[in-house]
């Protein structure tokens, strides 16, 4: 296989599709990784940032200094100090104890995951479609005129000369 044919083979769209799949897989793995253990105070702050204050307007438990937020923060601190529950379990337990939904960021599971992924998938499909269409137009379009096109131009020019 010559170098130029290898270059053409690499430039074909299946290679780009494989690259795109690899990038998406790496992003999913990177997003899903745990950053490792943190101090109790960092855990409390991280959990408080994920929850919305039930009495405040658009503030997280971490930002708010209202009595409800302080109570939630104390409950988070108590559960973190107990060391039994994970961050997600603590958020779920506190969220379940209130009537309102206290999650500031939706879960990345089930329907919520689909809601997060659909725009990305649509964008990727749109870009791939545009690349496909532009390549097709480029390959179909030729800068060298055909004999029929030359004859048509000649006929139009003759008609234009005879009418003047």
Asked whether residue 86 falls in the same domain as residue 57, the answer is yes
Asked whether residue 62 falls in the same domain as residue 9, the answer is no
Asked whether residue 56 falls in the same domain as residue 2, the answer is no
Asked whether residue 84 falls in the same domain as residue 46, the answer is yes
Q: What CA–CA distances, in Å, run from 29 to 19, 25, 33, 113, 122?
A: 15, 6, 6, 15, 21
Asked whether residue 100 falls in the same domain as residue 132, the answer is no
* 8 Å CB contact between 52 and 73: no
Does any domain span residue 115? no
Asked whether residue 57 falls in the same domain as residue 91, the answer is yes
How many structural domains comprise the chain?
A: 3
Does any domain span residue 118? no
Q: What CA–CA distances, in Å, run from 83 to 40, 86, 87?
A: 9, 8, 10
**pLDDT tens track of the chain, all 164 residues?**
555 665 665 566 677 777 788 888 888 887 776 665 578 888 899 999 988 888 888 888 899 888 888 999 999 999 999 988 888 899 888 888 887 788 877 666 777 778 878 899 999 999 999 999 988 887 776 677 888 989 999 999 999 888 87
The token pair that represents 118 in the structure block: 């659909």
Does any domain span residue 111? no
Backbone angles phi, psi at 95, to 5 degrees: -60, -40
Cα separation, 24 vs 38, whole angstroms: 28
Does any domain span residue 61? yes
Per-residue confidence (pLDDT) for residue 142, from 0 to 100: 65
Cα separation, 125 vs 146, whole angstroms: 35
Provide the 8-state DSSP code for 41.
H
Per-residue confidence (pLDDT) for residue 38, from 0 to 100: 72
* 8 Å CB contact between 131 and 13: yes
Cα separation, 68 vs 45, whole angstroms: 16
| Residue 91 belongs to domain spanning | 37-105
The token pair that represents 10 in the structure block: 């690499």
Asked whether residue 44 falls in the same domain as residue 62, the answer is yes
Per-residue confidence (pLDDT) for residue 87, from 0 to 100: 86
Does any domain span residue 17? yes
Does any domain span residue 113? no
> Is the pTM above the cut of 0.75?
no
């Amino acid at each position: 296989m010559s170098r130029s044919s290898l270059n053409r083979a690499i430039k074909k769209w299946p290679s780009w599709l494989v690259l795109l799949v690899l990038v998406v897989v790496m992003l999913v793995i990177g997003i899903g990784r745990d950053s490792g253990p943190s101090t109790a105070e960092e855990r409390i702050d991280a959990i408080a940032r994920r929850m919305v204050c039930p009495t405040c307007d658009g503030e997280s438990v971490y930002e708010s200094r209202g009595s409800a937020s302080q109570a939630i923060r104390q409950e988070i601190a108590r559960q973190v100090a107990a060391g039994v529950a994970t961050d997600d379990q603590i958020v779920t337990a506190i969220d379940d104890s209130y009537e309102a939904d206290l999650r500031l960021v939706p879960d990345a599971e089930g329907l919520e995951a689909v809601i997060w992924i659909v725009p990305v998938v649509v964008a990727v499909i749109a870009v791939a479609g545009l690349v496909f269409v532009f390549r097709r137009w480029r390959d179909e379009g030729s800068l060298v005129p055909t004999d029929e096109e030359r004859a048509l131009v000649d006929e139009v020019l003759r008609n234009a000369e005879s009418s003047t």
